[in-house]
Amino acid sequence: MLKRSLQSANKYLSLVKFSHTIFALPFALIGFFLAIRMTQAEIEWRILIFVVLCMVFARNAAMAFNRYADKELDLKNPRTAIREIPAGIIKPRSALQFTIINSVFFIVTTWFINPLTFKLSPVALIIILGYSLSKKFTSLCHLILGLGLSLAPVGAYISVTGKFDVIPVIYSMIVLTWVSGFDIIYALQDEEFDRNENLRSIPVLFGRKNALIFSVLLHFISAILVIVAGVMADFTFYYWIGAAIFIALLLYQHLLIRPNDLRKVNLAFFTTNGVGSLLFALFTILELYI
């Protein structure tokens, strides 16, 4: 019984690529601890737990719905045919039920945080679920994904303070441009398939070379915003170490990819961005408390 339950859990963790939570969660922690510092409030571990749960539930819902919405396309695409739904490991109906359950858990969890977070929760769900449909009508689908993940730092900040502020919004803009930029790199793998299926993306619209230039531009904006946030918050030593690492890894991932050589896309996509977000959050939180 226990073994079967663990196997089932592993299937769903694989469905939603749970390890990719590493991208936005560190920025949610930045938003949380930034709010604590700026308001001189005591750390409420209960709120921190709720913030983490919101991140997990929202991302589970978004990824499960993405797999459900793309089930026919994933079956046609050799790169994605091994995913859980086209491979028959998880039924489409089960993925949709998983989406609904996590969406409900997300909204219920926000109710325990504060009124503003609860009121904004449906808006957040519309954005993160809407990404899965966006590639059918706009080449800016990457920016919609970035917008969805960008809710992490400002959402965590609101969870503590119950209001908006400029600096957490800047961190949200960092996430928006950073995620949008590396999602364009990831989408290079499916440029030909997307074009044949009449799907929209920056690589389809501009071609590989120009798509990479577009990604570089977005990451350049990310780097500038990292510097702006540090200056505005009057951060010192630890923050700038984290900022330097994050910006260096932004540059490094572009050195790994060429328009005619995508062999290192997974290294650029997951490793550099995952490590970058973790270290940036670590040094930012050290700056806040040391």
pLDDT in tens, 53-66: 999 999 999 999 99
pLDDT score at 5: 63
Report the CATH number at residue 202.
1.10.357.140
Amino acid at 90: I
What is the domain range of residue 161?
22-289
Residue 5 lies in a domain: no
Distance, CA of 262 to CA of 250 (rounded, Å):
17
Report pLDDT digits (tens) over 92-137: 999 999 999 999 999 999 999 999 999 999 999 999 999 999 999 9
Report pLDDT digits (tens) over 214-268: 999 999 999 999 999 999 999 999 999 999 999 999 999 999 888 887 888 877 7
- Beta-bridge partner residues of 261: 258
Question: Which pLDDT band, with edges at 50, 70 and 90, does 20 fall under?
Answer: low
**Count of domains forming the chain:** 1
3-state helix vs strand vs coil in the chain, percent to 5: 80, 0, 20
pLDDT score at 244: 98
pTM (2 decimals)? 0.94
3-state SS, the chain, equals CHHHHHHHHHHHHHHCCHHHHHCCHHHHHHHHHHHHHHHCCCCCHHHHHHHHHHHHHHHHHHHHHHHHHCHHHHHHCCCCCCCCCCCCCCCHHHHHHHHHHHHHHHHHHHHCCCHHHHHHHHHHHHHHHHHHHHCCCCCCHHHHHHHHHHHHHHHHHHHHHCCCCHHHHHHHHHHHHHHHHHHHHHHHHHHHHHHHCCCCCHHHHHCHHHHHHHHHHHHHHHHHHHHHHHHHCCCCHHHHHHHHHHHHHHHHHHHHCECCECCCHHHHHHHHHHHHHHHHHHHHHHHHHC
Give yes or no for a contact between 125 and 148, defined as CB atoms under 8 angstroms apart: no
Distance, CA of 242 to CA of 277 (rounded, Å):
9
Report pLDDT digits (tens) over 160-209: 999 999 999 999 999 999 999 999 999 999 999 999 999 999 999 999 99
Report residue 127 as tokens. Answer: 């954005």
pLDDT score at 1: 59
Residue 6 lies in a domain: no
Terminal alpha carbon distance of the chain: 47
Mean pLDDT, residues 19-32 taken together: 86
Residue 218 lies in a domain: yes
Distance, CA of 80 to CA of 22 (rounded, Å):
22
Residue 102 lies in a domain: yes
Asked if pLDDT for residue 2 goes beyond 60, the answer is no
Whole-Å CA distances, 37 to 25, 32, 42, 67, 164 = 19, 9, 9, 39, 15
> Over the range 15-34, which residues count as b (16 or more CB within 10 Å of their CB) and which as e?
bbebeebebbbbbbbbbbbb
Mean predicted lDDT score pLDDT of the chain: 92
Residue 124 lies in a domain: yes
Residue 75 lies in a domain: yes
CA-based angle 265:129:62, to the nearest 5?
Answer: 55
pLDDT score at 260: 84
Report residue 27 as tokens. Answer: 């920025």
Residue 44 lies in a domain: yes
Question: Which pLDDT band, with edges at 50, 70 and 90, does 146 fall under?
Answer: very high
